[in-house]
A and B are shown apart, each in its own frame.
Chain A
Amino acid sequence: MAELTLKHAAVKAIYTVVPKTIYKSIDYPFFSEEEAKMFSKTTGIIERRVANANITASDLCYQAANALLEELNCRNDIDLLVFVTQSPDYFLPASAAILQDKLGLPTTCIAFDVNLGCSGYVHGLLLANRYLQNGGLKKVLLLAGDKSTISTHEKDKTTFPLFGDAGSASLIEYDAKALDWFLDAGTDGSGADAIIIPGGHSRNPYGTIDTSDFTSAPGVTRSLKHLHLDGMQVFNFALKNVPNSLRNVLNKADLSIDEVDFCILHQANQLITDSIRKKVKSSPEKFPSSIQLFGNTSSASIPLTICSELKEQIASQKLKLLLSGFGVGFSWATLLLNTEGVQTKLLEYE
């Protein structure tokens, strides 16, 4: 398990974009009224945002990044663009390369995609820090976003009502005086089958597999092109690993959970958030939640929660934030992040 102390980087701005279209859990046609109530009570999801057919994750992130670069006037200063996504525009090239050009970033800018989901934002911050820490690079643009709704089958109750779409852009700068960050991260690939889209890539290329719909359980119809999610396995993974990861970071930072201002967990579902919170013996007000309005937005859920729930605090106060992303892989990463004067904005896609 990786445990690191990270130096010399500061988060300056976080912008997030969500689509305008709202899907309400109560309107999902394959839920009975009772199921819809139980779903919202357990997952917390009342509604979520869904991107139109012609909008991709890179489009959402582009709009977040473009607004950030315009308002912070740093378009020509970006040294590295990292795009964390599992819904890129193409097999190849990397969407980050397309975004470098579309955003008008200098050609001296390094750009690449990172194939991580719910843990990806925190891994992206780690990468940003590692590139910045010796001062050779000065500014990193971290984009994290997904259009998860493109891969869920409408008749799969275990995935379709859970996911929302969102894109984010964060600016991280070299800062010799920045307070240290502390990280704990890990991977357990034995859980690879728990969250998977089995068809369409090298292992099961289209043309070699049957992509017709099948029903694996009542209310669970999908094909090999669609996302499969084993909720119980994911739940077990999260409860087994995330509380320990939070404790590891707190130990490393020599802090108690009470000394942290806010703990922003990946918004998988409210039951997971509440269970993790209870395991580390903390209070609901320390664990802000945005899942009620946006669903599970994969790699964008942490920046979206910051923009949605902590706008005033993160702009005006010095904060100790404990961020933890966990999910597909399985992969997880927890970071103690010291922030001061972070500019945020939550926008709707135009």
Chain B
Amino acid sequence: MEIIDFIKVIEEEFEDLTPGTLSPDSVFRDMDGWSSMHALIFVALIDTTYDVLLTGEELKSCLTINDLFDITNLKMSSGGINA
């Protein structure tokens, strides 16, 4: 998985995001109107797309899109949902 594809998946999910807005260094909680709902959408999106289920604690430990990408990649390589 490449981070460019990861970012594309996120941008497609959030209609309000203009394609090209996000970069690996973007702080995802800085998205307009960020709320706990967005957190759930991120977890759902990553699980349904990559079969990787992030816990609330794992999401809290991430700051940037790159952090999310890294932890998703790590869990994918170690078995996904049950890792």
Chain A residues within 8 Å of B, Cβ to Cβ: 34-35, 38-39, 42-43, 158, 230-233, 235-236, 239-240, 271-272, 274-275, 278-279
Give the shortest distance, in Å, between A231 (CB) and chain B (any CB): 6
Q: Chain A residues near B35: list those with CB within 8 A.
A: 35, 38
C-alpha spacing A278/B46, complex, angstroms: 12
C-alpha spacing A232/B55, complex, angstroms: 8
Q: Can you offer 25 A-B residue contacts whose CB atoms are under 8 A?
A: A35-B35, A38-B33, A38-B35, A38-B38, A39-B37, A42-B37, A42-B41, A43-B37, A230-B56, A231-B36, A232-B39, A232-B40, A232-B55, A236-B43, A236-B53, A236-B55, A239-B43, A239-B53, A240-B53, A240-B81, A271-B40, A271-B41, A271-B44, A275-B44, A278-B48
Give me 7 other A-B pairs in contact (C-beta within 8 A), A38-B35, A38-B38, A239-B44 excluded.
Answer: A39-B37, A42-B40, A158-B36, A232-B36, A232-B56, A236-B56, A271-B44
Give the shortest distance, in Å, between A122 (CB) and chain B (any CB): 23
Chain B, residue nearest A272 (CB): B44
Q: Chain A residues near B36: list those with CB within 8 A.
A: 158, 231-232
Dominant secondary structure at the A interface: helix
Count, chain B residues at interface, CB 8 A: 17
- The verdict on A239 contacting B37 (CB below 8 Å), with A232-B56, A232-B59, A233-B56 known, is no
C-alpha spacing A275/B42, complex, angstroms: 11
- B47 near A239 with CB under 8 A, answer yes
- B33 near A235 with CB under 8 A, answer no
Q: Chain B residues near A235: list those with CB within 8 A.
A: 40, 43-44
The 3 closest A-B pairs by CB, nearest first: A232-B56, A278-B48, A275-B44
Give the shortest distance, in Å, between B66 (CB) and chain A (any CB): 21
C-alpha spacing A275/B81, complex, angstroms: 14
Q: Chain B residues near A42: list those with CB within 8 A.
A: 37, 40-41
Q: Chain A residues near B81: list those with CB within 8 A.
A: 240
C-alpha spacing A272/B44, complex, angstroms: 8
Pick from A35, A158, A275: contact of B47, CB under 8 Å: A275
Chain A, residue nearest B34 (CB): A38
Give the shortest distance, in Å, between B72 (CB) and chain A (any CB): 15
- A231 near B40 with CB under 8 A, answer yes
Chain A, residue nearest B59 (CB): A232
C-alpha spacing A34/B44, complex, angstroms: 21
